[in-house]
Structure 1
């Protein structure tokens, strides 16, 4: 049995991935979806990218120490967290230290794949879209935020109105300072088995951003496997069975 850890995106709790994780478990995988500290509901927020990264590193390291071979899935902001958190936890790196277990693969699902000393805001500004952040996201005075139009910009088409409204209603306010958190580490530099699931209709992380992330990974020496799904920013909701099949294919090395 393979072990999968899914790092949620901004605004998302583990419950948002329930159908997807059920599909993965039906394919024989052990699945973990830890809740990020930045989604703890504190106002003003008391957890940021660094806190999320420390938490995920501890969580994954505990599984590695138990001898698990782990594939880490990252959705949206989860890409920043996983990239920042998992350096040095690759199975090959741990084996060289005489340790068992570790991360054997990374899969970005419409997720940010940045390099050290860069933030999501830096990336958006470099693309000439910095002014759009305050339009796309509703920031409160304490810097917590939600999408200004989650039905259109985050979820998109693919599910019934009732399912979509329930999904949106359970999205949580998130610490918007996460947009400004600069990465201190870059896990894919030593965990080079990488996949990227493109959401071609994504209006929160546009396809050209996603393509640029893949190029960053390839420029860094990763041979990235890619897949494209014609859906919005949340393919683990709108096309969860298809994403589960992709992940299963990646884990099995097909």
Structure 2
């Protein structure tokens, strides 16, 4: 069995496994086995039949299957993926499974430009808390049956907080390939609250994306502030990126995940409050 944990990518809204092709290849080149399940909210069904809870169950099933084979798992949750990851991975930590005499389990939750919410909150609850609801809804189209798509994928996902379309290390071809994979999703998932939180029993690494607008930097900080206020240790990194660090700052993301794998191997679970920066 490989000594490195496997990586389970929990996709953001509108994203499918192929969307994370660049990150997947980079992680595989670094020696990781990578799994990215297709979430039901992005399955294309009309009327839509997937929601946040079915996404969470999908993530949980994949994680349990990997854990039952003895794998330790680093769950990398992007954007909306923070919700089904938080919901679905609860109780699947390495320690919780070991207490039941089971092998494997989730050894780290990595929130990457992600929503790490607490019980009772949905994405739109958080957006409304900061008075951003109108701005978000103006960027998307909603059908009568709840299907949501973006009016301009590239502008919405690559424009950073400085109003600049950021590609950084991503080539035009990589950006075009990325945008071509995006699909509509069921917006019902955005209004469904988390009812259980995996971050209460699994160590957390949070990757702040400083120039992000979805969620903005202060949204991200508020999530970590709540986790720490509830008594949980959170490791934090900061990337000077927008919402797609896995596309525009791929090497840095891989370095962070590799650092996490090394911490897991060394048994490190206490992180302090310092925000770490990575250079490649």
Question: Which interval holds the TM-score relative to the shorter structure?
Answer: over 0.9
TM-score (norm 1): 0.95
Do the aligned partners of 1:16 and 1:237 also contact (CA within 8 Å) in 2? no
Note if 1:172 corresponds to 2:183: yes
Residue 178 of structure 1: CA displacement? 1.1
Residue 8 of structure 2 is aligned to residue 5 of structure 1? yes
Distance in structure 2 (CA, Å) of the matches to 1:166 and 1:97: 44
Q: Secondary structure of 1:205's partner?
A: coil
The correspondence of residues 35-54 of structure 1 with structure 2, limited to 5 A, is 35-54=38-57
**Tell me, which stretches of 5 or more residues in structure 2 are unaligned?**
160-165, 267-280
Q: Shift of the alpha carbon at 1:199?
A: 1.4
5 Å matches for 1:67-216? 67-156=70-159, 157-158=166-167, 159-191=170-202, 193-216=203-226
How far apart, CA to CA, are the structure 1 residues paired with 2:123 and 2:77? Answer: 15
Q: Distance in 2 between matches of 1:99 and 1:163?
A: 41
Distance 1:112 1:105 in 2: 16
1:155–1:164 contact (8 Å) kept in structure 2: no
Local SS of the residue matching 1:228:
strand
Tell me which moved more, 157-166 or 167-176.
Answer: 157-166
* Distance (Å, rounded) in 2 between the aligned partners of 1:67 and 1:19: 27
Is 1:221 the counterpart of 2:231? The answer is: yes
Secondary structure at the aligned position of 2:14 is classed as coil
SS at match of 1:77: helix
TM-score, length-scaled by structure 2: 0.86
Aligned-partner Cα distance in 2 for 1:29–1:48? 29
User: Is contact 1:107-1:197 (8 Å) kept?
Assistant: yes
The count of residues paired between Structure 1 and Structure 2 equals 253
Aligned counterparts of 1:169 and 1:99: Cα–Cα separation in 2: 41
CA contact (8 A) 2:37 2:58 kept: no
Looking at structure 1, the residues matched to 173 and 70 of structure 2 have their Cα atoms a distance apart, in angstroms, of 42
Residue in 2 aligned with 1:230? 240
Q: Specify whether residues 147 and 200 from structure 1 end up closer, same or farther in structure 2 by C-alpha distance, changes over 3 A only.
A: farther
Partner Cα distance (2:28, 2:174) in 1 = 22
Is the Cα–Cα contact under 8 Å of residues 7 and 76 in structure 2 kept in the other structure?
Answer: yes
Taking the aligned partners of 1:140 and 1:238, their CA distance within structure 2 comes to 31
CA shift for structure 1 position 152? 2.4
Give the superposed CA RMSD.
1.4
The answer on whether the counterparts of 1:147 and 1:154 sit within 8 Å (CA) in structure 2 is no
Q: How far apart, in 2, do the equivalents of 1:75 and 1:23 lie?
A: 16
1: distance between equivalents of 2:153 and 2:147? Answer: 15
